Amino acid sequence: MSQQKFWNSKFSRDGFLYGLKPNTFIASKIKLLAKNSQVLCIGEGEGRNAIFLAKKDFDVTAVDASDIGLLKLQDRAKEEGLKIHTLCMDLNHWKVEHKYDVIVASYLHMYKNERKELFEKIEESLNENAYFIGEFFSTKQVNYSSGGPRDEDLLYTVDDFKSSFSLCDKDIKEQITILDEGKGHQGEACVIRVVIQKL
């Protein structure tokens, strides 16, 4: 099944699968972002992080494979009087054509063998001193029932990030947290939190 078909089947239901609030970790790092930063939200789904960041007056672009998710994002943005640029594509087809001050991701589902190329594109897309900020499900998440894929090949380790981003300063931590993100993420979870700055 393609990424688009998979995520459209999830986002075609009523409401917002992961709620309306931004990811709490990404929201907690807002102070790192300079005024008027250009932000790219990857694997952004129904737009909760993009909406939050656009409300803070950042210039936001959102990428996702699901046209249904991005349509929900645009409907919300219109209601809120926000302008958010959207790109509907599988991240495996994303080409580096623009530089960003910040790239964010929450619970991005990418197979292990696809990550090296994606991480290289992220690093290349960051301006000098720019940040990649994200929260991802650890491989240990299989022991929890709070959400996320059951396929370990879609889960992450600290080393996935440490072994990439050679031109960057890296703060990478695995920890237990409590998720409260719509119907999709509820309860205790094991996550990897990443703040990577390009030097």
Reported as a single tens digit per residue, the pLDDT across 36-72 is: 999 999 999 999 999 999 999 999 999 999 999 999 9
Structure confidence at residue 15 as a pLDDT band (50, 70, 90): confident
Sorting pLDDT into bands at 50, 70 and 90, what band is 12? confident
Average pLDDT of the chain, as a whole number: 95
What stretches of the chain show up as alpha helix (H) in DSSP?
3-11, 24-28, 48-55, 67-80, 112-125, 158-162
Predicted confidence at residue 19, as pLDDT, reads 85
Say what percent of the chain tops pLDDT 70: 100
Instruction: Indicate the domain borders of the chain.
Output: 3-198
Per-residue pLDDT at 17? 86
User: Is 98's pLDDT higher than 80?
Assistant: yes
Query: Counting Cβ atoms within 10 Å, is residue 173 exposed (0-12), middle (13-18) or buried (19+)?
Result: exposed
Q: What is the pLDDT of residue 8?
A: 72
Domain 3-198 top-level CATH class? alpha beta
